[in-house]
Structures are given as structure tokens and as C-alpha cells.
Amino acid sequence: MNKLVIKINGLSIKYRLAKEKPKTLQEYIIHRLKGRRIYYEDFWALRDINIEVHEGEALGIIGLNGAGKSTLLKVIAGVLKPAEGNVTVNGKIAPLIELGAGFDMELTGKENIYLNASILGLSRKEIDKKFDKIVEFSELGEFIHSPLKSYSSGMISRLGFSIATEVDAEILIIDEILAVGDERFKKKCMERMTGFKKKGSTILFVSHSIEEVERLCDRVLWLDHGRSRMSGDPKSVTEEYQKA
């Protein structure tokens, strides 16, 4: 069996939610001045998650909105810290978790390539070498010299994917990044991810598209209200998910 690259034991993430949340800062101050207490309750976004992912494996993560999918990816990417449990990651990560994350909307596409790629760990010389490939794959053409605030969500998605997949990361994390954009470009992205998998890269893939999950992934984790409801081969898990 290939080496273990992600190991998660007893992972739980907790948020404190206000039961009686003031709508404005003024309302909050008035509550405090009057001595009115604001009560909180614990919300468990993830509860007792256990996962092992091996090198070269593509793990699909499915579930309804609010099931904890994005939260799980953020923990693996190191954006969030667990309230309970342990997370071990062995390998360089390229995360595509939020559309436009790491981008500056006032800068041009070209400037954002250098900004985002440097955040992902590339040097200036490395970005220089990869720049033409990034622009070519993104199909942005002359738009690469326009500020990102003029881009559509699909254009931003294409740029983000093109940068992340030129970083040569061992682990690629993708969260609904292919939900925007045209079908032809989605197919192109799926082909690139399949190529990464063949080279031994590990992929964590969140998508509401059951077809995409079944096509790309070796195994699927179904999250339901922050808990692992089922894990196994894609067909078995997705069939049960669609029945629920």
C-alpha cells in the first residue's frame, strides 16, 4: 500500500454561536450597558472524524450544505485548528478552498499569479518559468493584464485552478472550485486532475456533482451534520447518499 499522507483521529471542530445575536454594534453596546447577558451555545461543525488517505488516492467528500465538508478541508489545509483530535499531513498542499482566496481584486491577473503562487511556496524564478503555462491553461488571454475585479467568477476559478496545479504539490485540495465555469473547461480540469493522480498526487475533492465524484475518486466520505455517515467505494456511497 502507498504511504499514508493524511491521518485524522477523533477530529472535532466547535464554534460558539450567540443565541441572541445583536444585529448591530449599537444594539450590542446597548445590551452591554443595560447589563443584558448574551448567551452562547456550542455548535459542533465536525464530530469525531477519522480518516486515512494514502499517496495517489483521490478521496471524494459529499454531503448537503452545512455538513462540514469545507470545514474539514480547512482543517487539513491548516486554516483551522481542531477543538479535539489530531491531524497529520505529510506533503506539500495546494488548496483551492475558496474562490478568490489569496487574490487581490485590485491587482491584475498577472500580478495575482505572482502573489498567489508565492503564497503557495514558489520563488520568483519558478513563477517566471511557469507563467506562460498558467496563462495558457487558464485561457484568459489579454484579460491577464486586467484587474481581477473585472473578472467573472468563472475566470477567477480558472486562474486559481491554473496556478494551484502548476505548484507541483503532493496534495491537491479542491472545494467546489469547478462549480463555476463552462463544461468544456471543467472537462479540461478533470483531465488534469486525473493526470495528477496517475503521477502519485493525492486529491481531496468536494463536489455536489455525483458524476464528477464517481469519475475521479477512488473512495468517498459522506458527511452528515458534521459526522461521518458512510465511507467506501464511490458507487456504494453515492447511491446511499442519493436515497437519503
pLDDT at 39: 63
Query: How much is the pLDDT for 31?
Result: 58
Half-sphere exposure of 67 (CA within 13 A, CB side): 20
Report pLDDT for 98. 74
Q: Structurally, how many domains does the chain consist of?
A: 1
Task: Flag whether 170 is in a domain.
Answer: yes
Residue 49 forms part of a structural domain: no
Q: Is residue 22 in some structural domain?
A: no
Q: Does residue 48 lie within any of the structural domains?
A: no
Strands (E) located in the chain: 4-18, 40-54, 58-62, 84-89, 93-96, 171-175, 202-206, 219-224, 227-232
21 is a domain residue = no
> Is residue 38 assigned to a domain?
no
pTM higher than 0.75: yes
Q: In order along the chain (244 residues), what is the average pLDDT of each group of 10 residues?
A: 91 81 68 64 92 96 96 94 95 83 92 94 96 96 96 91 90 83 85 91 94 95 97 97 92
Q: What is residue 206's three-state secondary structure?
A: strand
Classify residue 115 as exposed, middle or buried by CB count within 10 Å of its CB (0-12, 13-18, 19+): middle
**pLDDT value at residue 1:** 63
CATH, residue 150: 3.40.50.300
Q: Is residue 209 part of a domain?
A: yes
Q: Is 45 part of a structural domain of the chain?
A: no
Give the alpha-carbon dihedral of 128, 132, 135, 136, to 10 degrees: -160
Domain that holds residue 190: 56-243
